[in-house]
């Protein structure tokens, strides 16, 4: 079995969705196609949810009707047979009637999640209708029947495997299965999701659950680039990455992959290929457990970071100090990304400020606390990057004029990280691009 995931832009227009059908059919053997919502849909649904939360009924209605019109145009551009067009219109109306009904209800977290699920539910049905119109056999598997997260919002791989295997047995003999990315059930059996960009995660979880031959992530760029193409002018695709290199890049901001999406593939040694829907011939990136060359592969940057410094007069030989600090973060389920220590102080970073006020209050019982928001982690990734001769000198040369708040070296052999103010991100990424990569 192969797993092919297509992101929002890949299904963003009727032409693109047709191309997805062509690519899917050109891949030999049985496959599960995982689809995102049509591009812009999840953002629009988030906006509708915000309007509803703020009791802005008029704003919500405007957003809903503009999204509805987009879907009317879409299905007319995609389908030509009257019967299928009728089916598509009925389906779109059902979903939008549900969305419209939310303006009359008291809105809560469960309804927000159900609202956010509508995009993937509609895109997969539209794709299935298109394949049917073309006479291509296909079978819809509802993600809500097998994709699940537990009380800690972590995917429950045993549940996923058991239920997906059962579902596939119930619908044997198809070459092309379709399912929704992103959406799942939570521990309370309510509709939930795998966080923004979560369709990549769906694909690798399915890959792990069915022991897939390969997971292909089809998107709008020819693989993982050596630097963030949204920030730096000149970037190039990286042909091969190890699971560890790809995990670091995804976790530290390479938007092409959901931060957790490589973990299941790594755990079950399933190769992941990143491919460009707009240029299917391009090689893209192959992520696998193969031995990697020792070089800097790519740079990523993660914004929205808060640095916290805790200064204690009694750090020297004060065992238990770090444990006390970590316990506070654990209590508020807030992961720490970077950490540096000196004799009297500890600096660390978090990317989730939901409990910042409570965390600071508790940390103040341990020492003097300083907080810097709007920070960015810049992460230089490559196999054995830390043992490369001269690498630190090159990094510091490039970042000569950039203020550095924290530096992390040696935590893993794949990654050197530097924390700076977000205002310096573009300058830092561009300077590192010049210094560390050859574009000849
Ligand atoms: P999809 O909708 O297919 O999931 P995303 O927008 O989530 O696509 O991811 C693809 C985008 O990721 C690219 O268009 C690119 O702008 C961005 N991106 C950020 N960093 C990188 C990188 N290092 N390599 C490739 N793309 C990157
Ligand atoms: N549609 C969801 C989002 O936009 C999930 C995804 O595309 O991966 O975040
Ligand atoms: Mg994405």
Please give the Cα distance from 383 to 418 (Å, whole number). Answer: 18
Q: What is the pLDDT of residue 333?
A: 93
Q: What is the pLDDT of residue 387?
A: 86
> What atom of ligand 2 comes closest to residue 120's alpha carbon?
1
Report which bound ligand comes closest to the CA of 258: 3
How many angstroms separate the alpha carbon of residue 134 from the centre of ligand 2?
A: 27
Report which bound ligand comes closest to the CA of 248: 1
Beta carbons within 10 angstroms of residue 374's beta carbon: 12
How many angstroms separate the alpha carbon of residue 254 from the centre of ligand 1?
A: 7
Q: What is the pLDDT of residue 388?
A: 86
Report which bound ligand comes closest to the CA of 194: 2
197 lines ligand 2 (CB under 6 A): yes
Task: Categorise residue 230: left if φ over 0, alpha if ψ from -120 to 50, beta otherwise.
Answer: alpha
| Contact assessment for residue 253 and residue 377, using Cβ atoms and an 8 Å cutoff | yes
Mutate to test the pocket of ligand 2, among 182, 201, 256 (most ligand atoms within 8 A of CB): 182
How many angstroms separate the alpha carbon of residue 113 from the centre of ligand 2?
A: 13
Enumerate domains of the chain plus CATH numbers: 2-220 (3.40.1160.10), 298-436 (3.30.2130.10)
How many angstroms separate the alpha carbon of residue 273 from the centre of ligand 1?
A: 14
Which single residue is written with the structure tokens 């509802």?
Answer: 142
Q: Could you tell me which residues come within 8 angstroms of residue 137 by beta carbon, excluding any fewer than 6 positions away?
A: 131, 174, 175, 176
How many angstroms separate the alpha carbon of residue 323 from the centre of ligand 3?
A: 36
Report which bound ligand comes closest to the CA of 379: 1
Q: What is the pLDDT of residue 315?
A: 56
Residue nearest to atom 12 of ligand 1 (CA): 256
How many angstroms separate the alpha carbon of residue 256 from the centre of ligand 1?
A: 3
Which single residue is written with the structure tokens 């009257």?
Answer: 82
Residues 270-319 have pLDDT tens digits of: 999 999 999 999 999 999 998 878 889 999 999 999 999 999 866 555 77
Please give the Cα distance from 37 to 202 (Å, whole number). Answer: 13
- pTM: predicted TM-score of the whole model, two decimal places: 0.95
Please give the Cα distance from 44 to 8 (Å, whole number). Answer: 13
How many angstroms separate the alpha carbon of residue 370 from the centre of ligand 1?
A: 34
Q: What is the pLDDT of residue 122?
A: 98
Q: What is the pLDDT of residue 385?
A: 87
How many angstroms separate the alpha carbon of residue 40 from the centre of ligand 1?
A: 15
Residue nearest to atom 5 of ligand 2 (CA): 197
Please give the Cα distance from 299 to 296 (Å, whole number). Answer: 8
Mutate to test the pocket of ligand 1, among 255, 262, 301, 437 (most ligand atoms within 8 A of CB): 255
Mutate to test the pocket of ligand 1, among 10, 217, 221, 234 (most ligand atoms within 8 A of CB): 221
Report which bound ligand comes closest to the CA of 37: 2
3-state class (DSSP) for residue 358: helix
How many angstroms separate the alpha carbon of residue 137 from the centre of ligand 2?
A: 26
Q: What is the pLDDT of residue 292?
A: 79
Please give the Cα distance from 414 to 241 (Å, whole number). Answer: 11
Report which bound ligand comes closest to the CA of 118: 2
Question: Low-confidence residues of the chain, pLDDT below 70?
Answer: 313-317
Please give the Cα distance from 433 to 428 (Å, whole number). Answer: 8
Q: What is the pLDDT of residue 314?
A: 67
Structure tokens at 401: 């004029």
> What atom of ligand 1 comes closest to residue 228's alpha carbon?
20
> What atom of ligand 2 comes closest to residue 182's alpha carbon?
5
Residues in contact with ligand 1 (CB, 6 Å cut-off): 7-10, 36, 197, 219-221, 224-225, 228-230, 254-256, 298
> What atom of ligand 2 comes closest to residue 258's alpha carbon?
8
How many angstroms separate the alpha carbon of residue 342 from the centre of ligand 2?
A: 41
**Strand residues in 65-207 grouped as ranges (E):** 139-140, 176-180, 183-185, 191-193
Q: What is the pLDDT of residue 160?
A: 98
């Amino acid at each position: 079995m192969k797993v092919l995931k297509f992101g929002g832009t890949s299904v963003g227009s009727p032409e693109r969705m047709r191309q997805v059908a062509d690519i899917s059919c050109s891949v030999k053997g049985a496959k599960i196609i995982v689809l995102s919502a049509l591009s812009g849909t999840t953002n629009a649904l988030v906006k509708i949810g915000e309007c509803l939360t703020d009791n802005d009924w008029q704003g919500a209605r405007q957003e809903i009707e503009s999204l509805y019109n987009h879907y009317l145009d879409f299905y007319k551009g995609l389908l030509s047979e009257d019967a299928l067009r009728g089916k598509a219109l009925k389906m779109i109306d059902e979903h939008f009637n549900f969305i419209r009904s939310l303006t009359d209800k008291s809105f809560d977290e469960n309804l927000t999640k159900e609202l956010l699920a509508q995009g993937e539910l509609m895109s997969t049905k539209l794709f299935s209708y298109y394949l049917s119109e073309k006479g291509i056999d296909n079978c819809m598997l509802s993600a809500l029947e097998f994709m699940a997260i537990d009380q800690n919002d972590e995917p429950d791989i045993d549940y996923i495997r058991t239920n997906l295997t059962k579902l596939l047995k119930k619908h044997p003999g198809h070459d092309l299965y379709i399912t929704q990315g992103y959406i799942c059930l939570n521990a309370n059996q309510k509709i939930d999701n795998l966080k923004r960009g979560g369709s990549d995660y769906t694909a690798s979880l399915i890959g792990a659950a069915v022991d897939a031959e390969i997971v292909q992530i089809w998107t709008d760029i020819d693989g993982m680039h050596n630097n963030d193409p949204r920030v730096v002018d000149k970037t190039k695709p990286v042909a091969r990455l190890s699971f560890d290199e790809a995990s670091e890049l995804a976790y530290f901001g390479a938007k092409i992959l959901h931060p957790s999406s490589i973990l299941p593939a790594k755990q079950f040694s399933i190769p992941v290929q990143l491919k460009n829907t707009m240029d299917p011939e391009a090689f893209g990136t192959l992520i696998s457990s193969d031995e990697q060359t020792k070089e800097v592969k790519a740079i990523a940057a993660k914004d929205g970071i808060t640095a916290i410094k805790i200064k204690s007069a009694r750090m020297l030989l004060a065992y238990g100090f770090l444990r006390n600090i970590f316990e506070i973060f654990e209590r508020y389920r807030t992961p720490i990304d970077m950490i540096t220590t000196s004799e009297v102080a500890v600096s660390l970073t978090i990317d989730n400020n939901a409990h910042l006020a409570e965390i600071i209050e508790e940390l103040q019982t341990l020492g003097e606390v300083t907080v810097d928001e709007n920070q960015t982690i810049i992460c230089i990734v490559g196999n054995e990057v830390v043992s490369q001769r001269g690498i630190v000198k090159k990094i510091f040369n490039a970042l000569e004029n950039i203020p550095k708040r924290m530096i992390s070296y040696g935590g893993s052999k794949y990654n050197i990280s530097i924390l700076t103010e977000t205002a310096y991100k573009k300058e830092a990424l561009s300077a590192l691009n010049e210094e560390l990569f050859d574009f000849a």
